[in-house]
Amino acid sequence: MSGIGGNLRIDAERLWASIMETAAIGATEKGGIRRLTLTDLDRAVRDWFVARCTEAGCSISVDELGNIAARRPGRDNSLPPIAIGSHLDTQPTGGKFDGVIGVLAGLEVLRTLNDAGYQTHAPIEVIDWTNEEGSRFAPAMLASGVFAGAFDRDYAYSRTDREGLSFGAELERIGYRGDEICGARRLGAFFELHIEQGPILEAEGKTIGIVTGVQGMRWYEVTVTGMECHAGSTPMHLRADALVAAARMIGAVQAVGLAHAPDAVATVGLVEVRPNSRNVIPGEVFFTIDLRHPDDAVLAAMEAALRERLEAAAREDGVAMALTRIWDSPSVHFDAGCIEAVEDAARTLGFGARRMVSGAGHDAAYIARVAPTTMVFVPCEKGISHNEAEKSEPGDIAAGADVLLRAVLATDERLAARKPG
Environment class of 393 (CB within 10 Å of its CB; exposed 0-12, middle 13-18, buried 19+) = middle
Residues of the chain with pLDDT under 70: 1-5, 421
- The predicted pLDDT at position 2 comes to 44
Mean pLDDT for all residues in the chain: 97
Q: How far apart are CA 124 and CA 412, in angstroms?
A: 9
3-state secondary structure of 314: helix
Cβ atoms 192, 371 nearer than 8 A: no
Pairing outcome for strands 271-274 and 284-293: antiparallel
Domains and CATH numbers, the chain: 12-215+331-418 (3.40.630.10), 216-329 (3.30.70.360)
For 209-223, give one letter per residue: b (16+ CB within 10 A) or e: bbbbbbbbbbbbbbb
For 72-87, give one letter per residue: b (16+ CB within 10 A) or e: bebeeeebbbbbbbbb
Q: Is residue 108 marked as binding? A: no
- The predicted pLDDT at position 95 comes to 98
- Nearest to residue 358, comparing CAs of 347, 370, 366? 366
- The predicted pLDDT at position 1 comes to 39
Environment class of 99 (CB within 10 Å of its CB; exposed 0-12, middle 13-18, buried 19+) = buried
Q: How far apart are CA 406 and CA 414, in angstroms?
A: 12
- The predicted pLDDT at position 186 comes to 96
Residues forming beta bridges with residue 266, ordered by sequence position: 291
DSSP 263-288: T-EEE---EEEES--TTEE--EEEEE
Q: For 126-147, what is each residue's pLDDT tens digit?
A: 999 999 999 999 999 999 999 9
DSSP state of 134: -
Cβ atoms 292, 216 nearer than 8 A: yes
Q: Give, in degrees to the nearest 5, the angle at Cα 167 between 162 and 168.
A: 145
Q: Report the largest interatomic distance among the alpha carbons of the chain, rounded to a whole angstrom.
A: 85
- The predicted pLDDT at position 3 comes to 56
Kindly report the pTM of this predicted structure: 0.89
- Nearest to residue 370, comparing CAs of 146, 130, 187, 122? 187
Q: Is residue 260 marked as binding? A: no
- The predicted pLDDT at position 421 comes to 59
Q: Is residue 230 marked as binding? A: no
Q: How far apart are CA 230 and CA 251, in angstroms?
A: 26
3-state secondary structure of 214: strand
Environment class of 93 (CB within 10 Å of its CB; exposed 0-12, middle 13-18, buried 19+) = middle
